[in-house]
Structure 1
Amino acid sequence: MISKSKIILQIIVIASVALSIFLYYQLSIRGFLDDWCSCKCEMDSEANLWQSERYNRSTHVFMNSKNGVLDFETFDWWTSLQGASTVANFTDLVEDLFSHFPDKDHYSDSSSSRCRSCAVVGNSGNLIGSHYGALIDSNDFIIRMNQGPTAGFERDVGSITTHRLIYPESAVDMDNNTHLVMVPFKILDLQWLISIFTTKHIDQTYMYVKPSLKADKNKVLILHPAFIKYIYESWLQRQGRYPSTGFISVVFALHICDEVNVFGFGATRDNAWHHYFDNFAINFNGGPHPGEYERNIITELHQKKIIMMYKGW
């Protein structure tokens, strides 16, 4: 008959092994078994040079009433992306925008002491079975894009969303804890943004769009058209016609956070391209975005330890 003390000892051994496996798993999914750092990781000189050739700290990330007047080159480029809308006076439109939404210089608190972590959560099927949910939710900011849901997928994608990047054609309702980050690809997008909180009369762009949206208008942020142009020119070297929302989200995170962790980008382990929430095949090399070039840049960011990319299981 096994003594009580031996049973207790066995329980302690089993618990210790289980705890060791758990801790190993947590470290492994972070990918930092040998060189984990918590914030502002030191880059080597080559990585610093590579980033400095692309990163412009002084660029306007968000629009406000003070920086909303666009120079001719930016206005001409931006309005060519998806077709210009009829608008009597763009200056008047900007004034109207910031009579409805917060008008300030957001996230201008960068300092050597700040340590803000961002999780940028893409929509790749490689998130299925990843169990990244708790790790994603442990970040200060959790940035999602377009229609990527959390309900029903919490174990793999997390449950918190602090910022969601959308445009009219990809808009979804969001709770009052989430910042609606508008990615404007045309003037009509800004008109639609006003409309969904006021008259609700715009329901058509180049396709049907939601005429209203559940969101907190006091948490609306609007990416500056010049920021999109800067990403296109500095980061993508004018490849494609303009950057995808996913790539914009990564560069956006680099500008507002000190540590950037990227999830849900790229193909699945069997090289399939689909969202984690559906099984429809997607052509990531088609359309106006330079898909392969964007993926190469994100891989380079990871290899140079500027971001940490989690590839799923």
Structure 2
Amino acid sequence: MRKKLSIMINLLCLGSLLTTLIWYTLEDSFVELHRPIPQRSAPKPSELCKGCKEVIDKVKKLYNQTWKKHEENYHRFSLQLSINCNGSNNGIVTQENTPVGSKIVCDKDRSVISVTPELFKIFIKENPFSKKRWDTCSIVGSGGILTDSGCGKMIDSADFVIRCNLPPVENEFHNDVGMKTNLVTANPSIFMNKYGSLMGRRRAFADSLHQYGNSLLLFPCFSYGGTRPVCQRAVYAIEDMDISIQPIFLNPRYLERLVKFWESLGLKEHRPSTGLYMTSLALEVCETVHLYGFWPFSNHPDRLFPLTNHYYDNVPYDRKVHAMPNEFSHWVELHNKGVLKLHLGDCKSDQV
């Protein structure tokens, strides 16, 4: 009897010890997750990406710190985009420009999609950008340069705010990136990789959209024929769960023209980034275009401390697909010509 009692006491003590150990482990993890971010300092030479300091110094010399819009340069470039690409009228697939029975030719794999009555129903009736102009537009890239930038108020002060690839804007992010959203893009790869191609439960996907309010949700669904089904499932999930966001689709004919336009300016890449598409469209429909979060290097331009690739994660972009530094050089050039305003570094709290 005493032997059994002794064993029971030992087991109780061991259980208590394990419980205490688990509690402290979890508590330490919780504290670590919520610990304030330490002040960032200049990196050691070994922390700099190869050749970054030289490139960044060169960019800073080219980048005009005192920016002023050049009306003639802006209108000339905007007119070139309108003549060659006409995104304000043809950038979006609509029921007007893509009737039942017509064919959609995908701009990348050249697949041909027949427009059925079912597919036609999910097209917006008319282009939301036709005959519309905004005074100021913010195009928000998702670069790590936005972390601790305090740019949220400046971004949200624009009349029209465009965000790329369903980025988080709530909670700890809103001070740096703002929350106002008029248009947000979503690559089909997000549906596939993050939400299991929307083949199962779709609540997590639907819940992620509430932070964007009643904005436009732009899909590039007709670049590859294989992405159409997952895009349709995304639209059905939005409709079934009565989410206020409005799905729209990029027109592959517009994308083809846009690629040719930028190639004529010396920008050749396998697949232009979402930021390039959205900035090009904005330059047609916005009087003044501001770019935030466009910085393709892994160190900050001012103090050279390391940056994550995105402000919300450190997943790298595919260098075989996107030529981000090449695109960035064009933004610097257009900034210096007064065509658009490229914001680098932190934003002052009183600048709204």
> Above 0.5 in TM-score?
yes
Correspondence list, 1:115-134, <5 A: 115-134=134-153
Select the residue among 289, 302, 309 that pairs with 2:342. 309
1:264 aligns with 2:298: no
1:298 aligns with 2:331: yes
Q: Secondary structure at the match of 2:108?
A: helix
1:91 aligns with 2:115: yes
Q: Residues 151 and 176 of structure 2 are in contact (CA less than 8 Å); yes or no, is this contact kept in structure 1?
A: yes
Distance in 2 (CA, whole Å) between partners of 1:258 and 1:164 is: 20
1:158 corresponding residue in structure 2: 178
Q: Residues 145 and 166 of structure 1 are in contact (CA less than 8 Å); yes or no, is this contact kept in structure 2?
A: yes
Report the more deviating stretch, 96-105 or 131-140. Answer: 96-105
Note the aligned Cα RMSD (angstroms).
Answer: 3.4
Report the more deviating stretch, 119-128 or 95-104. Answer: 95-104
Aligned length: 253
Q: CA deviation at 1:71?
A: 10
The one-letter amino acid of 2:176's match is D
Select the residue among 109, 112, 124 that pairs with 1:79. 109
Q: Secondary structure at the match of 2:105?
A: helix
Distance in 2 (CA, whole Å) between partners of 1:213 and 1:295 is: 40
Distance in 1 (CA, whole Å) between partners of 2:275 and 2:140 is: 9
Correspondence list, 1:163-242, <5 A: 163-171=183-191, 173-175=208-210, 176-184=213-221, 185-198=223-236, 216=243, 219-237=246-264, 239-242=268-271
2:312 corresponding residue in structure 1: 277
Q: Residues 140 and 162 of structure 2 are in contact (CA less than 8 Å); yes or no, is this contact kept in structure 1?
A: yes
Q: Secondary structure at the match of 1:78?
A: coil
1:107 corresponding residue in structure 2: 129
Q: Residues 119 and 260 of structure 1 are in contact (CA less than 8 Å); yes or no, is this contact kept in structure 2?
A: yes
1:137 aligns with 2:174: no
Distance in 1 (CA, whole Å) between partners of 2:278 and 2:160 is: 12
> Could you say which structure has the larger radius of gyration?
2
Structure 1's unaligned 5+ residue stretches are 1-30, 201-210
Distance in 2 (CA, whole Å) between partners of 1:240 and 1:167 is: 18
Q: Residues 117 and 257 of structure 1 are in contact (CA less than 8 Å); yes or no, is this contact kept in structure 2?
A: yes
CA pair 294-36 structure 1, distance change in 2 beyond 3 A:
closer
Q: Residues 43 and 305 of structure 1 are in contact (CA less than 8 Å); yes or no, is this contact kept in structure 2?
A: no
CA pair 257-133 structure 1, distance change in 2 beyond 3 A:
same
Deviation track 1:58-117 (CA, whole Å, cap 9, x = no partner) reads 351111133237999x8264334xxx4xx7x5132xx4333134211222124xxx5432
Q: Residues 43 and 304 of structure 1 are in contact (CA less than 8 Å); yes or no, is this contact kept in structure 2?
A: no
Q: Secondary structure at the match of 1:159?
A: coil
What is the percentage of aligned positions where both structures have the same residue?
22
TM-score by length of 2: 0.62
Structure 2's unaligned 5+ residue stretches are 1-62, 192-204, 347-352
Q: CA deviation at 1:297?
A: 1.5
CA pair 213-253 structure 1, distance change in 2 beyond 3 A:
farther
Deviation track 1:250-293 (CA, whole Å, cap 9, x = no partner) reads 11222332221110001332274511112x26356x12222222
